[in-house]
């Protein structure tokens, strides 16, 4: 089943570049990620818990 994704947004740090990703919200509170260069190619989704762990690791600079 394809999730209905809303609220697509691009990082404010990406400026006007097209070489970045966009993040949207899934109905269950998770996230969807897609490439801004090829939005029609689709996206992948992650659960709310996986997204929280990912963002926490980013903020803690644990991803190198």
Closest by Cα among 2, 6, 45, 49 to 25: 6
Instruction: Retrieve residue 48's tokens.
Output: 């709310």
Please state the φ and ψ torsions of residue 50, each to the nearest 5 degrees: -65, -40
Is 25 in a helix, a strand, or coil? strand
pTM of the predicted structure, to 2 decimals: 0.78
Instruction: Retrieve residue 12's tokens.
Output: 């404010």
Q: Give tens-digit pLDDT for 5-30.
A: 999 998 777 766 667 889 999 999 99
Is 37 in a helix, a strand, or coil? helix
pLDDT of residue 37: 84
Listed by start position, the domains of the chain span 20-64
């Amino acid at each position: 089943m394809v999730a209905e994704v809303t609220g697509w947004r691009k990082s404010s740090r990406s400026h006007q570049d097209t070489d970045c990703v966009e993040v949207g919200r899934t109905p269950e509170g998770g996230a969807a990620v897609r490439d801004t260069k090829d939005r029609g190619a689709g996206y992948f989704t992650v659960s709310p818990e996986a997204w929280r762990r990912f963002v926490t690791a980013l903020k803690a600079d644990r991803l190198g």
